[in-house]
Chain A
């Protein structure tokens, strides 16, 4: 098994927690992993992306070649489209639909959503609202991860364990919140796929 994943969002939206969760689950499965992150200047409210590669076999490049990603997982709708050149023709795009508007020229959100919905394989969900309903908008990223879960070919139980271990230091409440967020996202995806 081999999955090449582009994680996308805006600095501060928690894409590295998504990466850490998938990574922890993959390592627990005895898989190889490479994950290229963006640190430094680009984090200041700019677009951020991470290349996450998991595989049964040794991985060569830290970067995913163009047109080879199996999945784009995005916490922001416009950002999900920025990485379309990376996605395989038969790849899936999983994205939050709630825009993060911190630039004056953010496009018409209807146009953005229309483009996302025109893709044959996509899951789009208002993860902001779902996370808020569950108790905190801070769990938005994990709602999106839940929606991506069926496409990862990792056991759901392993992913849930990974969430428990990633949020271990943040206390029981945060673990519960994020498990609920994960399950809510997963439920949406199971309907869509």
Chain B
């Protein structure tokens, strides 16, 4: 078959389509968004009837995928690393229930925080849940691992975590496809209590999961994604996990590393291979993008054995993603440096687009709050987080999806009144509704701005679960109708918007203000498509 140029994310998606998934579940989040988008745009996926619309959040996505697995079909659920925190309850417990139809959880990590608030390493979650983890180093491996992962999941009755990092997710290369598999038929678990995690059942299931660990390790040893390359110079042995193997090879133009190398793509670690490397080499260098998980486990807390080098002893930086130069330096290579960046080159940080509705909303909020002391605006995850920077400097927090409303509650209860929450429409339906219910139940004096640009803007304009439902949801949760106000965030309506916000700031209860104007990016895209359709009609 001919090679197709695919992003790492797209290779996962095509791999899943070809492996016979019946559904993909996800909430958008960089760098994982393109996986689901690829399936949504795929004609093949449409013909096969693969379900692929967005879920309200990662937890609902995870549980829906588990339900599909219960029914005997193959499901993939995709999220960015912090999304796995949201899905963690279902994720950890899915290891106890086990899988029926194949189940793969894709977590896309973001070392160096290109588009995230931390660089947590999802391999910890896999270890925590005691399930197999796959970590591709190339787009082809990403494709192949999905196929293998589903087979493994069904063979051993376990969910499988597939961990990818930004660099591979968003890097394109040639991928050769395999023949496409049919979807599974509907087939319930033979034991209809398997998914009932009552303590009496869960204890049994947990023991079963523990007893599977040896098989998981056997799979790691034999599936072919962990490879041992022997070499003569045994002063050093190298463990290269995932994409770090590419950086290692880049440092040897002839692709011959003089030291023994263990290339790792599957966990739990293949113990025999690790042992062979440890016993035959004087010291080890551990390359892993993310946290020093493998380094730590080989070292052990007492660190009384051979010298283990990596992120913990300073051979590699403790944070940030790796690259060929960093890996090269840890091997003692000097690199030719290019010219320096001239000092007049100014940083060009991302910012709100020209004409963005959030800009006008925050201009109004800033003025409405001008009579109060600073530091009252609790915000959230989305494009609008950029309003923390100059020139708006409008918000004071951004922690996790939904934390704006709940943190405003705590601050108001501590005496900071008024406290304001500023949350996007999609973030609100993702994780804001339960917080709003808390506020309503306690009649907490907070003013909530639900910034409604009618899309998931930051990740490129995906459909928002909140579309056309915000007022209904707020009323349903119990916000008083007279304290739900919809504004049009436009410069010409600035004064009346300021006045409306000010009135609600004075109200001693829960107010919801909804500045509503479509995202300028999706609007432009819609207009271009309309124009194209029109000209096509004429010709």
Q: Which residue of A lies closest to B167 (CB)?
A: A62
A63 and B115 within 8 A (CB): no
Q: How many chain A residues have a CB neighbour from B under 8 Å? A: 52
Q: Which one of B280-288, B345-353, B495-503 contacts A?
A: B345-353
Which of chain A's residues have a CB closer than 8 A to the CB of B243?
A: 62
A37, closest chain B residue (CB): B170
Contact for A107 among B324, B344, B386, CB less than 8 A:
B344
Contact A39 B170 (CB under 8 A): yes
What CA separation (Å) do A82 and B168 show in the bound complex?
A: 23
- Which of B174, B341, B344 is the one whose CB lies under 8 Å from A84? B341
Once A44-B383, A46-B348 are accepted as A-B contacts, the answer to whether A86 and B170 lie under 8 Å apart by CB is no
A residues near B170, Cβ cutoff 8 Å: 36-39
Contacts of B325 in A (CB 8 A): 65-66
* B171 sits at the interface (CB 8 A): yes
Let me know if A81 and B336 touch, CB within 8 A: no
* Among candidates A35, A40, A46, A86, residue contacting B31 with C-beta atoms closer than 8 Å: A40
- Whether A84 and B172, one on each chain, are in contact in the complex, defined by CB atoms closer than 8 angstroms, is no
Task: Among A60, A68, A85, A107, point to the contact of B246 (Cβ < 8 A).
Answer: A60
Would you call B174 and A33 a contact (CB within 8 A)?
Answer: yes
Which of A98-106, A139-147, A148-156, A175-183 is near enough to bind chain B? A98-106
A60 near B34: Cβ-Cβ < 8 Å: no
Among the 9-residue stretches A108-116, A126-134, A185-193, the one with 4 or more Cβ atoms under 8 Å from chain B is A108-116
A68 CB contact (under 8 Å) in B3, B336, B345: B336
Is the pair A67, B338 in contact by a Cβ cutoff of 8 Å? yes
Task: Determine if B459 is an interface residue (Cβ-Cβ < 8 Å).
Answer: yes
Query: Is A115 a contact partner of B246 (Cβ separation < 8 A)?
Result: no
**B518 close to A (CB within 8 Å):** no
Task: Report how far A21 CA is from B86 CA in the complex, Å.
Answer: 39
CB distance from A59 to the nearest CB of B (A): 8
**Which residues of chain B in 342-400 are interfacial with respect to chain A, using CB atoms and an 8 Å cutoff?**
342, 344-353, 383, 386
State A34–B137 Cα separation when bound (angstroms): 13
Q: Are B5 and A23 in contact (CB under 8 A)?
A: yes
- Contact status A41-B350, CB under 8 Å: yes
Main secondary structure of the interface of B (DSSP, over half): loop
Q: Does B337 contact A (CB under 8 A)?
A: yes
Interface flags for A18-43 (1: CB within 8 Å of B; 0: not) read: 00000100010000111111111111
B538 at interface (Cβ–Cβ under 8 A)?
Answer: no
Determine whether the beta carbon of A40 is less than 8 Å from that of B173: no
Residues of B within 8 A of A82 (CB): 341, 345
The answer for the CA separation of A84 and B344 in the assembled complex, in Å, is 13
CB distance from B87 to the nearest CB of A (A): 20
| Interchain nearest-CB distance for B458 vs A (Å) | 7
Contacts of B33 in A (CB 8 A): 39-40
Residue of B nearest to A84 (CB): B339
A102 touching B348, Cβ below 8 Å: yes
> How far, in Å, is A121 (CB) from chain B's closest CB?
12
Q: Tell me if A45 is interfacial: C-beta within 8 Å of chain B.
A: yes
Residue-by-residue, is A64-86 near B (CB-CB < 8 Å gives 1, otherwise 0)?
Answer: 11111100000000110110111
Tell me the complex Cα distance, A82–B347, Å. 9
Task: Please choose the segment from B65-73, B148-156, B247-255, B508-516 that sits at the chain A interface, where 4 or more of its residues have CB less than 8 A away.
Answer: B247-255
Question: In the complex, what's the smallest C-beta–C-beta distance from B341 to chain A, in angstroms?
Answer: 6
The answer for the CA separation of A79 and B348 in the assembled complex, in Å, is: 9
Contacts of A69 in B (CB 8 A): 338
Is A88 located at the chain interface by the 8 A CB criterion? Answer: yes
Question: Could you give, for residues 293-327 of chain B, a 1 whenever the CB lies within 8 Å of some chain A CB and a 0 otherwise?
Answer: 00000000000000000000000000000011100
Residues of A with C-beta under 8 A to B172: 23, 33-37
Closest chain B residue, CB of each to CB of A51: B171
Residue B90 at the chain A interface, CB threshold 8 Å? no
CB of B171 within 8 A of CB of A40, answer no
Q: Does B114 contact A (CB under 8 A)?
A: yes
A31's nearest neighbour on chain B, judged by CB, is B174
B30 touches A40 (CB 8 A): yes
List of A residues within 8 angstroms of B350 by Cβ: 11, 41-46
Known: A33-B172, A46-B349, A47-B348. A61 touches B250 (CB 8 A): yes
Asked if B482 is at the interface of the complex by the 8 Å CB criterion, the answer is no
Give A58 to B255 CA distance when docked, in angstroms: 10
The smallest beta-carbon distance between B533 and chain A, in angstroms, is: 12
Question: Once the chains bind, are A111 and B324 in contact (CB under 8 Å)?
Answer: no
Shortest CB distance B7–A (Å): 7
Please, how many angstroms separate the alpha-carbon atoms of A9 and B324 in the complex?
23
Look across to chain A and name the residue whose beta carbon is closest to the beta carbon of B9: A39
Asked if A10 CB lies within 8 Å of chain B CBs, one says yes
Contact between chains at A33 and B173 (CB < 8 Å) = yes
State A32–B339 Cα separation when bound (angstroms).
Answer: 28
Does A184 belong to the interface (CB within 8 Å)?
Answer: no
Which 7 residue pairs of A and B lie closest in terms of their CB atoms, listed nearest first? A40-B30, A46-B350, A40-B115, A44-B350, A60-B249, A61-B250, A107-B344
28 contacts between A and B (CB under 8 A): A33-B172, A33-B173, A34-B172, A35-B173, A36-B172, A37-B7, A37-B171, A39-B170, A40-B114, A41-B458, A44-B351, A44-B386, A46-B348, A46-B349, A47-B347, A61-B247, A61-B249, A61-B323, A62-B167, A62-B168, A62-B171, A62-B243, A63-B247, A64-B324, A66-B337, A81-B342, A85-B338, A107-B344
Apart from A11-B350, A84-B341, what 10 extra A-B contacts exist at CB < 8 Å?
A23-B5, A27-B5, A39-B170, A40-B114, A40-B459, A44-B351, A46-B350, A60-B250, A63-B247, A103-B346
